[in-house]
Chain A
Amino acid sequence: MASKPLWTYEAHTLHDLFCEGAVSAEEIVTSHLARIRAVDASVGAFLYVDEAGAVAEARRQDQWSAAERRERPLSGVPVAVKDNIVTQGMPTTAGSKILGEFVSPYDATVVVKLKQAGAVIIGKTNLDEFAMGSSTEHSALAETRNPWDLSRVPGGSSGGSAAAVAAQLVPLALGSDTGGSIRQPSSYCGIVGMKPTYGRVSRYGLIAFASSLDQIGPMARSIRDARLLYHVIQGADRHDSTALSSAGDRTVSGGPWRIGVPREYFGEGMDAGVRRLTEAALERLRGMGHALVEISLPHTSYAIATYYLIAPAEASSNLSRFDGVRYGMRAEGRDLLTMYEKTRDEGFGAEVKRRILLGTHALSAGYYDAYYLTAQKVRTLIRQDFDKAFQEVDFIVTPTTPDVAFRRGERDDDPIKMYLGDVYTVTANLAGIPGLSMPAGVADGLPVGLQWLAPGLADTALFDAAATLEPQMEPMVWPMGVEA
C-alpha cells in the first residue's frame, strides 16, 4: 500500500498499482475525490464532479482480472474532461449559459476511447465560454484560479483542466487547443500539454469553435503521462472526415538534432524570467549535444491578426446553431426572429458576442476579400515559413508564452493585450503542426513553459524529443497548500 496519498501519483503509476492489485480503483478514485473536496472550493477547476458515477465505475473495474486491467491502458486512472467535449450522462455547458440544461445524447469520440481504455471520468472542467479566451475568466459559470497563486488566472481556455492537473485533483485531463488553449494554461500551471497535428484526434463531440484550427489534446504532469493519454485518444474516426485515416507517423532521427530557435519569438515584450528559463533550457539542449540553429519565421508578427480573423469567422458560423430551438436555453419572443435574438443576447457573454460580430463582419458582403480571404492567404505564408524551417531543423523550441500567469482582472478591458499573449502558440494551429508545452521551471513562484514544435504528423517524435529533456530539468514541486 502506498505511503503517500494516491492523488499525488502520476497516471502510469496508478495504472500499474491497480494492475498489480496493490491498490483498488475505488481507493484511487476516492483519494482523488477527497482531494477535490478539500481543494476545489479554492481552485474552481471543475464545473461538475460525478462522484457517484466515478465510484461505481471504479467498483466495476475492481472486479476485473489482472489481464483485463492490463489490456486497458488507463484502467483505474481518473481523468477530467474539458466541458466543451460532450459526455453522455453528465452535463455539458461549454462554459456558457446558452446550453442551459444540456445533456448530450452521445459521447464524443475521445470520451468513447477514454472509456474503452478504462479511464474513470471524474467530471467536467471549466473553460472560457466556447473556449474563447486565454484566462478562463470568460466562463459564464465559475471562476478558476491558478493553484500556484490563487490571485492569478490559470490561463485558458482549458484553464479548468490545467488547474485540475496542477492541483493534483486528477493526473490527466483533456483540453482543446484552437490558438494555444492547451499549451498556454499548461505553461501558466506548470504542466505538460500537447496540441496534436490537425486531424490526429477526432473532433466529433467537441463543440466547434474554429473548425479548421480546433484539436483536442492531453494534459498531464509528465510527458510520459501526456503521451499515454495521446495514444488513447488519437486515430481515425468514421464520424470525423478530418480525422486522419491514412497518414502514418512522420519519424525524426534519434539525434543529435538541429533545433531551430526562431528569432521572432525572442523579441521585446518577453518577461525576464521567461527569457532566463527558456535560455537555460536551450543551453541544456546544447549540452546534450544538439545544435541550436537560429531560424526565421518571418510572418510571425502577422499571426495574431490572421488568427483573429479566421477564428471568429469560423466561430460566427459554428455558433449559429445556438438558436433556442434544438438544445439549450430559450428566451421567449413573440415571433421566431425575436426569439433567436433574445436567446442569443441573453445566452452569450460579451467576449463571444465580440467574436461573433467580428466574424460575421469579416464574412459579410463587401468585406470577405479584405478580411477573411486575406487572412487565409497570410495563413499560407505562415505555413510556408514552417515548411521552410523544417527543411533546416528537426524541431523548433520557443517559450510557450511571453509571460507568466497574470492577475485576475488585469486584462479585462483590453482584448488586444489578451490576444497578443497567444503570439507563440497560434502559429501551430494556423500551420496545423503539433506543439507541446513542458515546464521550464519556476520564476518568482510562477511556472514558465517551454514549447516544442514539430513537423506535421511527427507527434510521437515530438513526445520522444521532449521526454529526453524532461529528466535534465529541475523536478516540479507541485503546489500543495492550495486550500484557502
Chain B
Amino acid sequence: MELSDREILHVARLARLRLTADELQPLRQDLNRVLDYVSQLQRLDLDGVEPTLHAANDQAPLREDVEAASLSVAEATKNGPKVAQHMFLVPRIMEGGSDGE
C-alpha cells in the first residue's frame, strides 16, 4: 500500500500542512518505509481481540461540583498572535481554500 505523491498531498491537506516540492520526496520515502514496517501487524490473527483504547486503570472519576477560580479572559487570550478586545483575530473565512501560493 505505497502512498503516491497525490495521496500524501491529500493527507497533508487533511492535516493542514502545506508541503513544498523539496519536502515531498523525502517524506514519501520515509512514510512508505514506516508503512511497510507497520504492515507486519497484518500477520497477526486478531479475531475476537478487543482494542485497548486507553491504559487507564481507573473508572473515570466524578469531581465535586464546586466553584473554583478560572483564568480571566485577558490571561486566556494573552498569547494570541493577533488579539483585539480579548478576541482572536483571524483572516477572512469566506471564499476559503488554499490559494495555491
- Please encode chain A, from 373 to 384, with 1 for each CB lying within 8 Å of some chain B CB and 0 for all others: 111111111010
Contact among A241, A323, A336, A344 for B92, CB-based, below 8 A: A336
**B51–A381 touching, CB < 8 Å:** no
**CB within 8 Å for A316 and B15 given contacts A374-B41, A374-B46:** yes
Question: CB of B86 within 8 A of chain A?
Answer: no
A371 to B36, CA, bound (A): 12
Q: How far is the CA of A341 from the CA of B97 in the complex (A)?
A: 10
A213 located at the interface, meaning its Cβ lies under 8 Å from any Cβ of chain B in the complex: yes
Contacting pair B16 A344 (CB below 8 A): yes
A residues within 8 A CB of B31? 354, 357-358, 361
Q: List chain A residues, Cβ under 8 A from B99.
A: 333-335, 338
Q: Chain A residues near B42 (CB, 8 Å)?
A: 370, 374
Number of B interface residues in the complex (CB < 8 A): 62
Cα(A195)–Cα(B68), bound, Å? 31
Q: Nearest chain B CB to A242's CB is how many angstroms away?
A: 5
- Min C-beta distance of A422 to chain B, whole Å: 13
Q: Would you call A302 and B61 a contact (CB within 8 A)? A: no
Q: Taking the complex as formed, is A430 at the interface, i.e. its CB lies under 8 A from any CB of chain B?
A: yes
Whether B80 and A326, one on each chain, are in contact in the complex, defined by CB atoms closer than 8 angstroms, is yes
Q: Do the beta carbons of A361 and B11 come within 8 Å of each other?
A: yes
* B67 interface hit (Cβ, 8 Å): no
Asked whether A452 is an interface residue with its Cβ less than 8 Å from the other chain, the reply is no
User: Once the chains bind, are A309 and B18 in contact (CB under 8 Å)?
Assistant: no
**What sequence of 0s and 1s flags, for each residue 1-16 of chain B, a beta carbon within 8 Å of any chain A beta carbon?**
1010000100110111
The 8 Å CB contact of B91, one of A304, A327, A333, is: A333
- A49 at the A/B interface (Cβ < 8 Å)? no
A379 touches B52 (CB 8 A): yes
Instruction: Say yes or no for B84: interface residue by CB 8 A criterion.
Output: no
Chain A, range 372-416, C-beta contacts under 8 Å to B: 373-381, 383, 415-416
Q: How many whole Å from A373's CB to the nearest CB in chain B?
A: 6
* Known contacts A198-B56, A328-B79, A357-B12; is-contact A241 B61 (Cβ 8 Å): yes
Cα(A340)–Cα(B13), bound, Å: 10
Q: Which residues of B contact A309 (CB under 8 A)?
A: 38, 41
B residues in contact with A378, CB < 8 Å:
41, 44, 46
Given contacts A105-B75, A336-B93, contact A247 B16 (CB under 8 A): no
- The digit string for A406-440, where 1 denotes a CB below 8 A from any CB of B, is 00000000011001000000000111100000000
| C-alpha spacing A327/B57, complex, angstroms | 33
Contact of B41 among A100, A103, A305, A361 (CB under 8 A): A305
Query: With A242-B56, A344-B16 in contact, is A354–B27 under 8 Å at CB?
Result: yes
Known contacts A105-B76, A357-B31: A247-B41 contact under CB 8 Å: no
Residues of A within 8 A of B88 (CB): 325-326
Distance, CA A102 to CA B79, complexed state (A)? 6
The interface residues of chain B lying within 8 Å CB-to-CB of A247 are: 57-58
In the complex, are the beta carbons of B50 and A377 less than 8 A apart? yes
Contacting pair A105 B96 (CB below 8 A): no
Chain A 295-339: CB-based contact to B (< 8 A → 1; otherwise 0): 000010110111011000000100010011111111011111111
Give 11 A-B contacts (CB < 8 Å), ordered by A residue: A238-B63, A302-B44, A305-B41, A325-B88, A333-B101, A335-B92, A337-B16, A339-B90, A357-B31, A361-B3, A376-B53
7 additional contacts, CB 8 Å, given A325-B88, A361-B3, A364-B14? A103-B79, A335-B97, A357-B31, A361-B35, A376-B51, A376-B52, A381-B44
A-side interface residues toward B, CB under 8 Å? Answer: 100-103, 105-106, 197-199, 212-213, 236, 238, 241-242, 244-247, 299, 301-302, 304-306, 308-309, 316, 320, 323-330, 332-342, 344-345, 348, 350, 353-354, 356-358, 360-361, 364, 370-371, 373-381, 383, 415-416, 419, 429-432, 456-457
Task: State the B residues within 8 Å of A (CB).
Answer: 1, 3, 8, 11-12, 14-20, 23, 26-27, 30-31, 33-35, 37-38, 40-42, 44, 46, 49-61, 63, 68, 71, 75-82, 88, 90-93, 95-99, 101
